[in-house]
A and B are shown apart, each in its own frame.
Chain A
């Protein structure tokens, strides 16, 4: 069968064609919104018109079967209109109030997880992991599943001092805003890359391989027409492997995950913050990584017990001090916690005031 005529440089379809009529009518003219429960909110326009949003979690990795189910539900209850959030939730946009109850009932019957709105845990931003990525040192989807199962109550029912944003990155490349999340996993290598000299010669461009190393650990090895790595300078970021596939770094025994805490992206109350290291390494323990779930629980419980209303995790830790955070969580403080990379001196304590 002949293929249709291809078109180039057309860009995406225009968004106006995908907005429900009530949104088209009240575009840019919304007055306020109310969170009715974890899985339901209503936006009210200056005209008095309303649109209800019913939110469910998705695993992001979706078979077309499931997308078709979303389409069927949108057609049945939402005039066909549905959207996705940046955190991989699905939002059914309901224009008629009478459709909310049957939609929610059907979603519950299908065992969908409603929630993610308000001061709760929302769905987890994450990366490809072992599903599809060459540089993954853990599986992101598996960790997301485990953490969301563990904290499901905080997605739909229970509330927290403020919203808590989790993220999972399967390597230090960090596709997604892991570096500015309340509590996040970043997977790490701990051994230097192995050099496949024969392949370096055939597969890699030596100058760009040297240039990609953040610590200058790579130098040419002219005798072998390959490269050398100064082991003591390598901090296992894996950037060289992405540039030169002949430098494999993944290691079943020594790869694992680190946990970072206290980041945020909004400017509310305090400036956006980076996440900071609290646990430098936990071994990969698939399929359910119980040690990671336990560590998250220790951090979240401490936050719930200690934070004031509206404080994000990072704001709470900054108020009590990082030394208190380590006291409360009993996580050991190690050499890995003290920065020795590009902004190290900004992080040293230049004051004699601290707690025990």
Chain B
């Protein structure tokens, strides 16, 4: 029987309607020494209002440089069962779809070797196994990989890519987010398992600008589905929305950021040339409005959390690219970006920070992408810019002054 700790503070967090993580730890603590000790440590963190975990020390499986995060208690004498309490990241399935059978397999292996505690899922999208020891890692890896599951990314590597539910269960997806996510993961297995970058690199793929995976806020490479054609209007469905009580003028036309929608005489009209594809009208009138024409994605680069120079949102690099298998053009573009980042990036410098440090021009020229207005909110405000020898020989004004 695992040791039982008194947890008066944590017990307070078993009250209330939301499912309790404390109850979860207690379930595992009834079976495993590690989960029991985790509960004890956590109660102490609550009592002392500080963490009792340490990092440092490289742990992993043979042939891989990532996928396992070393974690240690700073009070091992009091909680020897969690002196070592490593995290294993399992690469999740695109769209987080599972079968009951696959979930049981995952649980069976983890119950054999670990604390019985998991995260479904970690912030990046891994299936996270919380709490095991160094000597168990090879066995865990053999058991999972022999059944078709591989480790995810950690450290200065490509991290486990993730995506929205996409065409599997959404009418708005302009690209096959699941297939792109799977293809990226398979294409860059080496970059994921053997960290060789200046810092981490994340891919997140979403089918439209609603961005249900927060791609624009937390991916070095945000792949966001879009389209080039018009929005098809089903006027009968528009009438149904009006009949059901929607104030189409106030809720749709007035909230259109480009004011390209008019609603008169019960008919909705869209000036497609002035639509910026923000998704508001489509999202609110999904039965009536559909994106049509050529589908593809915008590639944005650079978002990350605040470390080190402040948080960034991704910005447009390639406004439109067809994202169809086998994604040859896209993979070539990514390899060029990584080459440039490898060449110039400092330790712990994300690719977006490097672009800010060395300038968009150098980056765009290296990857072979032309400057276009879609890449900026507005042109430069200052009068300080560079001319290359080649620029000096160009006469672009001749085209529009003839």
- Mark A residues whose CB is within 8 Å of B: 3-15, 17-19, 23, 27-33, 43, 51, 53, 57-68, 70-72, 74-75, 80-86, 88, 93, 111-113, 125, 127-137, 139, 141-142, 144-146, 148-149, 152, 172-180, 203, 208, 211-212, 214, 237, 239, 242-243, 245, 250-253, 255, 263, 265-270, 272, 274, 284, 286-288, 309-310, 341-343
Contact = CB atoms under 8 A, between A and B. Distances in A.
A113 B18 contact: yes
Contacts of A8: 63-64, 145, 150, 193
B21 A3 contact: no
Given A130-B52, A341-B310, A4 B146 contact: yes
Contacts of A112: 19
Interface string B102-130: 11101100110000111111111100001
A57 B25 CA distance: 17
Given A113-B19, A141-B21, A309-B251, 18 more contacts: A13-B102, A15-B168, A17-B99, A31-B287, A43-B171, A65-B28, A70-B103, A86-B162, A130-B42, A132-B131, A142-B13, A149-B18, A245-B55, A267-B278, A268-B278, A269-B278, A272-B211, A287-B9
A157 to B, nearest CB: 11
A239 B130 contact: no
B310 to A, nearest CB: 5
B146 A62 contact: no
Contacts of B85: 132
B100 to A, nearest CB: 4
B100 A15 contact: no
Given A5-B146, A269-B280, A30 B170 contact: yes
B365 interface: no
Nearest to B63: A8
Contacts, number: 370
B102 to A, nearest CB: 7
Contacts of A125: 123, 214
B388 to A, nearest CB: 29
A28 to B, nearest CB: 4
A75 B286 contact: no
Contacts of A58: 19, 120
Given A9-B190, A203-B56, A266-B209, A208 B25 contact: no
Greatest chain A CB density within 10 A among B22, B145, B217 is at B217
A106 B22 CA distance: 22
A167 to B, nearest CB: 9
Contacts of B178: 15
Given A27-B168, A265-B211, A64 B28 contact: yes
B217 A177 contact: yes
A131 B38 contact: yes
B197 to A, nearest CB: 15
Contacts of A88: 120-121
A310 B253 CA distance: 12
A139 B38 CA distance: 14
A2 to B, nearest CB: 10
B75 interface: no
Given A43-B169, A134-B53, A176-B123, A9 B118 contact: no
Interface of B: 9-10, 12-13, 15-22, 24-25, 27-28, 35, 38, 42, 45-46, 48-56, 63-64, 71, 85, 87, 91-104, 106-107, 110-111, 116-125, 130-131, 138-139, 141-143, 145-150, 162, 164-165, 167-171, 173, 176, 178, 181-182, 185-186, 189-190, 193, 209-218, 250-251, 255-257, 276-280, 283-284, 286-287, 305-311, 313, 346-348
Given A58-B19, A83-B98, A208 B347 contact: yes
B121 A84 contact: yes
B49 A61 contact: no
Given A8-B64, A18-B97, A88-B120, A177 B27 contact: no
Contact of A80 (B24, B101, B121, B164): B101
**Which 5 residue pairs of A and B lie closest in terms of their CB atoms, listed nearest first?**
A149-B16, A28-B167, A4-B146, A148-B18, A130-B45
B165 A134 contact: no
A58 B96 CA distance: 14
Nearest to B219: A177
A81 to B, nearest CB: 6
Contact of B168 (A23, A74, A242): A23
